[in-house]
A = this chain, B = another copy of it.
């Protein structure tokens, strides 16, 4: 195909003690199960505050059964020792599943506690393009040989134009590779999926950002899949149309609730359509498994 030279597509390798997951362009989409998170869940918050982590078991099971490839673990409960909670949650999850984890916190000490407890190669969620955040998070990513989700926004408001997001993506990759010796393959860019309800041109800006990040940097990308439909009716239908388009534009993973079959099925369909599922083996096998269940 004609056009400018594309950057070589990069692969992000995540590992648990016994399992490897590779995120990459041209590979099957990586579902990062997002449910192990107390945000907006009052009862779960109370349990965690009292030191009861047992609900995690059910959440892990549901995400694994729904088809998650990686599990996002967030223990952000106000007025708790988040580092201690996250460390315990990480240890617990390692006993429940062999899926790699994404360690999710805005508290740097909690990220470090999680990384120290994890036996594998985790994804860190997340860092921004702000100098202070980069200086706090990137040394941990290097020290623990992890990968990191990076948001191309700085101290100003979230950039509404693709150009600015591309500049900040370049800055993050530059700092990570040159100042901290982190491989660009270990930077997973979040192109900042904004709610379409706020402005119906938001998604096209995000899709343009995805195409350009893929073409110019070749790095992997992820996003919070449900953000786009926030505030709109029929959110699952929007999510099921959004992810296939985003995958075509270059998105290689998403943080999403794997318990939503409509959206998971759309991702698997797009994997087949975009030639990431050779011979349609996974698609056909999933269909046969469902038929067998139904009998």
> Interface SS of chain A: helix, strand, loop or mixed?
helix
Q: How far is the CB of A236 from chain B (nearest CB, A)?
A: 10
- Decide if A283 touches B232 in the complex (CB within 8 Å): yes
Interface residues of A (CB under 8 A from B): 1-4, 162, 196-197, 200-201, 203-204, 207-208, 212, 228, 232-234, 237-238, 240-242, 244-245, 247-249, 265-266, 269-270, 272-275, 277-280, 283-284, 287
Contact with A200, one of B196, B270, B278 (Cβ below 8 angstroms): B278
What are 23 A-to-B residue pairs whose CB atoms are below 8 Å?
A: A3-B3, A3-B4, A196-B272, A196-B273, A197-B280, A200-B279, A201-B275, A203-B275, A204-B275, A207-B248, A232-B283, A233-B283, A234-B269, A234-B287, A238-B272, A240-B241, A241-B241, A241-B269, A241-B270, A244-B245, A245-B245, A245-B247, A245-B273
Report the separation of the CA atoms of residues A284 and B196 in the bound assembly, to the nearest whole angstrom.
12
Report the separation of the CA atoms of residues A4 and B3 in the bound assembly, to the nearest whole angstrom.
7
**With contacts A200-B280, A248-B249, A280-B232 known, is A273 near B4, CB below 8 A?**
no
Closest 4 CB pairs of A and B: A241-B269, A233-B287, A241-B244, A203-B273
The count of identical subunits is 2
- Decide if B228 touches A273 in the complex (CB within 8 Å): yes
**With contacts A196-B273, A203-B275, A204-B275 known, is A241 near B228, CB below 8 A?**
no
Report the separation of the CA atoms of residues A207 and B273 in the bound assembly, to the nearest whole angstrom.
10
- A1 contacts which chain B residues (CB < 8 A)? 162, 208, 212
A212, A232, A248, A278, most chain B CB atoms within 10 A: A248
A162, A241, A273, most chain B CB atoms within 10 A: A241
- Decide if B237 touches A200 in the complex (CB within 8 Å): no
A4, A162, A234, A277, most chain B CB atoms within 10 A: A234
- Decide if A200 touches B233 in the complex (CB within 8 Å): no
Report the separation of the CA atoms of residues A1 and B4 in the bound assembly, to the nearest whole angstrom.
13
